[in-house]
Chain A
Amino acid sequence: MRTRLQKWSLLMGATAVLALPSASSAQLTQADFEPRMGIESHVGNLTGHAKDAKGDYRRYCVGCHGDLGDGNGENFPWVDPKPRDFQQAVFKCRSTPTGTLPTDEDLFNTIARGLDRSNMPQWSTFTKQQRADLVAWIKHYSPRWATEKPGTPITIPSEPEVTADRIKAGRDVFARVQCWKCHGVLGQANGPSAATLTDDLGRPIAPYNFTEGARPKCGETDKDIYRIFMTGLDGTPMPSYADNIKPEEAWDLVFYLRTLMHQNSKEKILAKGLNLKPVDPNAPAGQQ
Chain B
Amino acid sequence: MSTLTRSRRHSRSFLTSLSVAALVAAFLFLTGSQPANALPAFARKYGLRCSACHESWPMLNYFGQKFKDNGYQLMNDRDAPIWQNPGYWPVTFRITPIWHRVSTGKVEVDTYSGGAPTGGAAIQRISTSGFDLSGLDFHTGGTLEKNISFYLLPSSDPTGAFHFEQVFGRLDNMFGSPWLNIKFGRFELDNLLSEKRILTLTGNGGIYQTYHFIPVGDANIFGQIGDNQLGIEYLGHSVDDRTRISASLISSSDGNVNLSTGANSYTAFFTGSQAFDAGRLGVQRIGFYAMAGEAATYYLTTGGVPIGGSGIANKGFTREGFVGQFYFGPHVDLTVVTQHGSDNAWFGQGYGNAIQTDGNGGTTATCSSPTPGCPANNVPGTVLPVGSQAPSWNGYTFEGHYVYSPQLIFIGRFESERMSRQANGAGCAAAMGCLSASSGTFTAGPSASNFGNISTYTIGYRYNPFMTSRAGFAWHNEYNWLHQDGTGATLGLGTVNVNTSELLIGFDFDF
Interface residues of A (CB under 8 A from B): 52, 55-56, 58-60, 62-64, 74-75, 78-79, 114-130, 212-215
- Nearest-neighbor residue (CB-CB) of B276 within chain A: A127
Q: Which residues of B contact A60 (CB under 8 A)?
A: 48-49, 51-52, 63
**How far does the alpha carbon of A63 sit from the alpha carbon of B279 in the complex, in Å?**
26
A71 to chain B, nearest CB (A): 12
Complex Cα distance, B273 from A40, in Å, reads: 34
Known A123-B63, A125-B62, A125-B66: A59·B51 in contact at CB below 8 Å: yes
- Chain B residues within 8 Å of A64, by CB: 47-48
CB contacts between A and B, total, < 8 Å: 86
Closest to B403 in A: A55
Q: How far is it, in angstroms, between the C-alpha of A78 and the C-alpha of B85 when the chains are bound?
A: 10
Q: Contact at A121–B76, with CB atoms within 8 Å?
A: yes
Q: Does any Cβ of A come within 8 Å of B283's Cβ?
A: yes
CA distance A178 to B52 in the complex (A): 41
Contact A125 B241 (CB under 8 A): yes
Interface pair B78/A128, CB less than 8 Å apart: no
How many of chain B's residues touch chain A, expressed as a range? 20 to 34
Q: B-side binding surface: helix, strand, loop or mixed?
A: loop
B275 CB → nearest A CB, Å: 9
- Residues of B contacting A214 in the complex (Cβ-Cβ under 8 angstroms): 77
Contact A125 B240 (CB under 8 A): yes
Determine the main DSSP class of A at the interface with B. loop
Residues on A with C-beta less than 8 A from B76 are 114-122
* Chain A residues, Cβ within 8 Å of B469: 63, 74-75
B75 within 8 A of A: yes
* Inter-chain contact A119/B278, CB cutoff 8 Å: no
In the complex, residue of chain A having the shortest beta-carbon distance to the beta carbon of B470: A74
Q: Given the complex, which residues of B lie within 8 Å of A58, measured CB to CB? A: 51, 405-406
Assuming A121-B76, A124-B239, A125-B62, what are 18 further A-B pairs, CB within 8 angstroms? A55-B406, A56-B330, A58-B405, A59-B52, A62-B49, A63-B468, A75-B47, A75-B48, A79-B47, A117-B76, A119-B76, A121-B74, A122-B74, A126-B283, A127-B279, A127-B282, A130-B282, A214-B77
Closest chain B CB from A52 CB (angstroms): 8
Contact B75 A122 (CB under 8 A): yes
Shortest CB-to-CB span from A230 to chain B, Å, is 24
Q: Is there a chain A Cβ closer than 8 Å to B475's Cβ? A: no
In the complex, how many angstroms separate the beta carbon of A30 from the nearest chain B beta carbon?
15
Note all chain B residues with C-beta closer than 8 A to A74: 468-469
Q: Bound complex: CA of A199 vs CA of B152, how far in Å? A: 41
Cβ-defined contact, A117 with B77, below 8 A: yes
Which residues on the B side are within 8 Å of A119 (C-beta)? Answer: 46-48, 76, 78
> What are 22 A-B residue pairs whose CB atoms fall within 8 Å in the complex?
A52-B280, A58-B51, A58-B406, A59-B52, A63-B47, A64-B48, A74-B469, A75-B47, A75-B48, A119-B48, A119-B76, A120-B76, A121-B48, A121-B63, A123-B63, A124-B66, A125-B240, A125-B241, A125-B283, A127-B279, A127-B283, A129-B280
